[in-house]
Amino acid sequence: MNEATTTKKLPELPTSPVEADLAATAFMDVDNPDLVAYANKVIEGLDKDADKAAALFLAVRDGLRYDPYSISHDPADYRASNVLGGSQKWCVSKAVLLAALTRSIGLPTRLGFSDVKNHLQTNKLSERMGSDLFTWHGYAVIWIDGKWRKASPAFNKELCERFGTKVLEFDGYNDALLHGFDEAGNRHMEYVLDRGQYQDLPFDEIMATFAEIYPTMVDGAATHDEAFHD
């Protein structure tokens, strides 16, 4: 990549996709051979767009075990092909990977972000973050059969079963956003702020917010421009 990509927030969701919703970007290298091969393997034998999107969602949800403890501040680690290789395994990186995979098979996709509160957060993670607020929770927004569908592939099935939370399923026809309650009826995830939708990862904005809210987690963070400008 010879030039840094400027990430622009969409002021509102258009009624239909635009060319940029399928394009390769600094973070979504949709034409990467390994990424394309992986996507094609996952959707092999499937005809409907909804089924393809659902299969890719499942592959990302369970193929990368959620890990919020090893958050990289190197933008290169958030490039989709690197995420596929295991560089990062939390909600933002997994959303980037899902978005790149769906774009690679011809489904227009954006990235959506919200701030959420985790009412069941572990003490370990709470101490590390110093907050129960997860800013910039990421998910994919996929154009399927004439409608935008939201899908959050963050939490793998094994993790959900271990903590007694509901496994988030995506069928390609209905939104799949974090559950408000766990299997026992306890309050789980609460959406508190919609940060909008983007056509590429707003890395600098995310890291700036993290530096303000989670200062001990972002020391030495590189910027998007520093990493992608040769």
Q: Which residues lie across from 143 on neighbouring strands?
A: 148
Summarize the confidence of residues 66-92 as an average pLDDT: 93
Whether 88 contacts 72, CB under 8 Å:
yes
Side chain identity, residue 219: D
Is the CATH code 3.30.360.10 the one for domain 16-156+172-220? no
Both tokens of 184, joined, read 């026992």
In this structure, what is the dihedral angle of CA atoms 84, 85, 91, 95, given to the nearest 10 degrees? -20
Extents of the domains making up the chain: 16-156+172-220
pLDDT in tens, 172-203: 999 999 888 888 888 888 899 999 999 999 99
Per-residue pLDDT at 12: 64
- pLDDT confidence tier of residue 133, bands split at 50, 70 and 90: confident
Digit-coded pLDDT (tens) for 54-77: 999 999 999 999 998 788 999 999
Rounded to 10 deg, the angle between the 33-42 and 49-63 helix axes is 110
CA distance 74 to 18: 29
Q: Contact 110/199 with Cβ under 8 angstroms? A: yes
**90 neighbors 154 (Cβ within 8 angstroms):** yes
Percentage of the chain with pLDDT > 90? 65
